[in-house]
Structures are given as structure tokens and as C-alpha cells.
Amino acid sequence: MAFAEYSVLIRKPVHDVYEFILNGENNKLWRPSVTAVSKVTAGEIRVGTQFSQMMKGPFGKSISGDYEIISSDLDKAIAFKVISGPARPTGNYVLEENGEETKVTFTLSYTPTGFAKLMDPMINKQMQQETAMLINIKNYFEN
């Protein structure tokens, strides 16, 4: 199983950080691998909302990374599952108020099957890089 986790403290109120992460259209602002993203489900963002997302893939090709919000706890947690693309991990953001800062922990997990088991080390490395991009939200808010 591939697993990655990264935490960061952001000098912003927890609600601001929660709303920023919940709105997947902000992914282009902090995840350099995202080339396009849009909400495809009508209405407010909630459990069941889906985002269409294109990402930079190997050899300069674009890959799909569409995802769906699978749980949400206001100002505390957001979970999603990737529903298209070569790897389909689940992800979690846990937010904690820490004085005047917000601690955010981002985890990704994926259990490869079949041929993908051979790619587990590569997938794990990519997931480590993805979770580390969380530092870019801190930079977005604080710079």
C-alpha cells in the first residue's frame, strides 16, 4: 500500500483554510501539477461534489485526476476519492485550530492491484510529492 502524509501550520483562521481547500477550483493555485480544474456538479460544494481535473503526467502527457468529495466536517476535515486516472487514491485533510494558526495534515493512500502493484514504489514517491505541495497553501496565504 502506498501512503503519504504531510502537515503544515498556516497563519490563517481555520475556516478560511477549510473553504480554500474544499473548493477544488483552487487546486491550480497551489498544485503545480494541475493544469485545469472545474466543478462539474451543480450547486454548493458538499459531499458528492465532483471536480474534473487534468494534471501533468509522464512524458509531457496530460492525465485525468477527477475526484469526488466523500466526506466533509465543517472546519475540521475533508475527504475525497480520485475517480479517474491511472491511480485512484483517497485523500484526507484534517484541520486543527492552533492559536492564530491552522494546522493542516494531508494524507493520501492507495492500494494498488494487479500490474499497478509493480509500480507501488513510484506511486508512493509521487504521493509524497503531492502531499508536500501543501506548503504551497501556506505560501499562498502568507506571502
Q: What confidence tens digit (pLDDT) does each residue in 126-139 have?
A: 889 999 999 999 99
In this predicted structure, what is the pLDDT of residue 90? 96
The whole domain housing 86 covers: 2-142
Q: Mean per-residue pLDDT for 40-61?
A: 93
Mean pLDDT of 17-29: 97
Q: Tell which residue, 106, 105, 107, 110, has the closest CA to residue 123.
A: 110
pLDDT of res. 117:
66
**pLDDT (tens digit, 9 = 90+) per residue, 63-92?**
999 999 999 999 999 999 999 987 789 999
> What is the domain count for the chain?
1
